[in-house]
Each structure stands twice: as structure tokens, then as C-alpha cells.
Amino acid sequence: MERNAIIAGLGIALPPAVEQRDIWDGYFQYQYEGPRRALAKRIFENSGVRSRQAAVSPMLEDVADWSTERRMLRYQVEAMPLGKEAAERAIAEAGLTADQIGLFAVCSCTGYATPGLDILLARDLGMAPGVQRLFVGHMGCYAALPGLGTAADFVVARDRPALLLCAELTSLHLQPPAVRADVQQIVSHALFSDAAAAVVVVPGDVGGYAVKEVAAVTDSTTADYMTWEVTDRGFRMGLSPRVPDVLATHVRGLVDDLLARHGLTIPDIDGWAVHPGGPRILDVVGERLGLDEAALATSRETLAAYGNCSSPTVLLVLDALRRRAVPPRRILMLAFGPGLTLYGTLLEASTVTA
């Protein structure tokens, strides 16, 4: 018999929210002058973001001139309770206790510490001393999908539950005035947000979504199009306007090949969880896959309500899809990030047999 890895629990934790208009009026409009201010305002208004979350709001606490060391210390303070809340919710929904988790994987590219979140949260959640741990850093916005693939492989191989946590605090990486006038930094500051999301994957015959396959393609010729550099003043985003063009080249092939291995085509997918890196990303994916606006509505609404939270974002979209009055039978998750890398994950609703 085929052994399935089933997503049986999903938990989300969010820091305080702020309206996009308020954060522009209350902080960012004062960071630019002349034509650059007008440009920045257009970028903020056209970002597709209506509200987003900030563990460290610049309207209350300006971290732009903080050292990276100071930002990393604050990362631990803010990420620990968010990560714990998301993990506890996912474990509870799966009907498990923390000491039953066999693998605890953490994805985060916005902060580092040793001992890391994996060690400290395993302790605070009450996981067994023998729990296996994995920390995945600097994979960026697509990290949830290789993380989910690793969790699913562990579940199938070991017949034990796994927990994946994605936690990002992009608000800690506000750039100094000399840097943030760059257009790429304006785009980054207009889009990115904070969140934590966790999923529990279990073996066996239970309700949820089975992880059928995780697939990827990387175009290393465009490695400099998306970067995340550690500087003396936090981590600095590099975001080329050519990123959507690379996605346009590769996304159809990735999706068609992945679905074909399961005897499926695009019309067989009734739920699309597309990482909303920005409005143009969703436009390109929709055009190349021939999707109508309804197929991408959940991804666009996630961007509007939460912003781009990096690795947790595609899990926020998944959570919204599964909470529909009639949840999708098959979901295709797509996420993109440094490399440039495209990841796809096929999920299928599991049926419980007596």
C-alpha cells in the first residue's frame, strides 16, 4: 500500500497589523524627497497590499540605523512567541501533543541565532529530547515548499509525525536612508511583512491534504536577479524587475511536467496557492497557466490582507483555500525565490476509510 503524508494541522500567528496607507502617511512619506517621494507613493499604492503586519513597526520604533547584531537579538525576542503560537495551533488541530513530533523543521531567512528557534521552541513546546531538528535558512519566499517536502519524506520513511514552521520578521530589515531611496528597496519596503505559519504532517489514513509531490526548477543564469545580503545594517533585498520574465519562461513547464506525472492537467486543479510576491508575479503566472481571476483570487486577497511575508505566505494562501465552504479537491502550491528558483507542490484531499 502507498503510504501518504497528510497535512493534518495548520496554524498561523501574526504580529499587530497596520494599514498600508497609515504606514505610508505615518512614516515612509517622510523618508523620500521630490520626485523620489512621488515614485515611492505610486509603488506603495500599486503594491497590491492593503494591510500588513509588523513585529517592529517603524511608526513606533525606527530600526533603520540599528546594527545587524541588535536586529538579531530582537529577532529572537519577537520570533519565539510567534513561532510557538503557530506551532501550538497546528499541533492542536492535528490532535497531537508536542512530544509525538518526530521531526521539527524551521524555515527562516530573516534572523539567525545559536541555539536557534528549532532548539529553543522544541524545548518550550515540550518536544521529546530525541526529536530530530532541521533549520533551513536563506531560501527565501519558496522555503515552505522544500520544507514541506522534507517533512513529508520523513513521515513516509519513518512513519512518524513532522512539524514545519516558517517564521519571518522582515520588519527588522528596514534599510538606512542612504540605501532605501533605491527603487528595489522601495519595492521591498512596500511589499514585505511579518508572519509565522506551521503545518503538521502525519502518516496514515486521516483527513487532510496528502502531499503527492514536490518539484523544483532553478535558473542559475539569473542568480543575481533576487538577492538577500547580510550587511552591517540588517539584510538587504535585491529584487530585479526582470524576475517576472524568468517566471514566465519556466512556470508552465514546471506545472505541466509535475501534473503529467500524476495523469493530470491544469483544468484538474481546483485550488491554486500561488505565492503572491507582488501583483506582476500573479499576473504572469495567470497568463502563462491560462488561469482566470477566480483561480488567483485567494492569492491576491492574501497579498492584500497580509503583504508578502516571505516563506509563510504560501501557507497563508493554503489556509484560506482549505477554509472555503467547499474546499478544493486538488491544490497546486507555487512559490518562487532566489536562484531564481520555482517550486511546485501537488496536494490532494485525502479520504478516511473505515
- Would you list the DSSP string of 274-313? E--S-HHHHHHHHHHHT--HHHHHHHHHHHHHH-B-STTH
How far is Cα 171 from Cα 54, in angstroms, rounded to an integer? 6
Rounded-to-integer distance, Cα 184 and Cα 240, Å: 7
> What digits encode the pLDDT tens for the residues 296-320?
999 999 999 999 999 999 999 999 9
pLDDT in tens, 88-147: 999 999 999 999 999 999 999 999 989 999 999 999 999 999 999 999 998 999 999 999
Q: Would you say the C-alpha torsion 316, 320, 323, 329 has a positive or negative sign?
A: negative
Predicted confidence band of residue 178 (pLDDT cuts 50, 70, 90) = confident
Q: Is the pLDDT of residue 3 over 80?
A: no
- Which residues lie across from 13 on neighbouring strands? 196
To the nearest whole number, what is the mean pLDDT of the chain?
A: 95
Q: What is the pLDDT of residue 252?
A: 98
Please tell me the predicted confidence (pLDDT) of residue 177.
Answer: 85
Question: What pLDDT is recorded for position 99?
Answer: 98
Pinpoint the alpha helices (H) of 193-234: none
pLDDT(282) > 70: yes
Show the cell assigned to 100. 509525538
Using one digit for the tens of pLDDT, what is the confidence trace for 188-233? 999 999 999 999 999 988 889 999 999 999 999 999 999 999 999 9
Can you tell me the distance from the alpha carbon of 348 to that of 257, in angstroms, rounded to the nearest whole number? Answer: 17
- Within 13 A of 237's CA, how many CA atoms are on the CB side? 29
Active-site hit among 107, 109, 141, 166: 141
Domains of the chain: 5-203 (3.40.47.10), 209-349 (3.40.47.10)
pLDDT in tens, 145-163: 999 999 999 999 999 999 9
Answer whether residue 351 shows pLDDT above 90: no
Look at 293 and 3; give whichever has higher pLDDT: 293
The terminus-to-terminus CA distance of the chain in angstroms comes to 16
Confidence class of residue 76 from pLDDT cuts 50, 70 and 90?
very high
pLDDT confidence of residue 54: 97
Residue 352 has what pLDDT? 59
Residue position matching grid coordinates 539584510: 235
Active site residue 309: no
Distance CA 267, CA 259 (A): 10
| pTM, rounded to two decimals | 0.96
The pLDDT assigned to 353 comes to: 47
In this prediction, residue 145 carries a pLDDT of 98
Take residue 116 and report the three cell numbers written for it: 536557534
User: Burial of 354 by CB count in 10 Å (0-12 exposed, 13-18 middle, 19+ buried)?
Assistant: exposed
Q: In the predicted model, what is the mean pLDDT of residues 160-171?
A: 98
DSSP H or E run through 214: strand 209-218
Residue 133 pairs in a beta bridge with 104
Say what percent of the chain tops pLDDT 90: 93
Summarised one tens digit per residue, pLDDT across range 20-74 is: 999 999 999 999 999 999 999 999 999 999 999 999 999 999 999 999 999 999 9
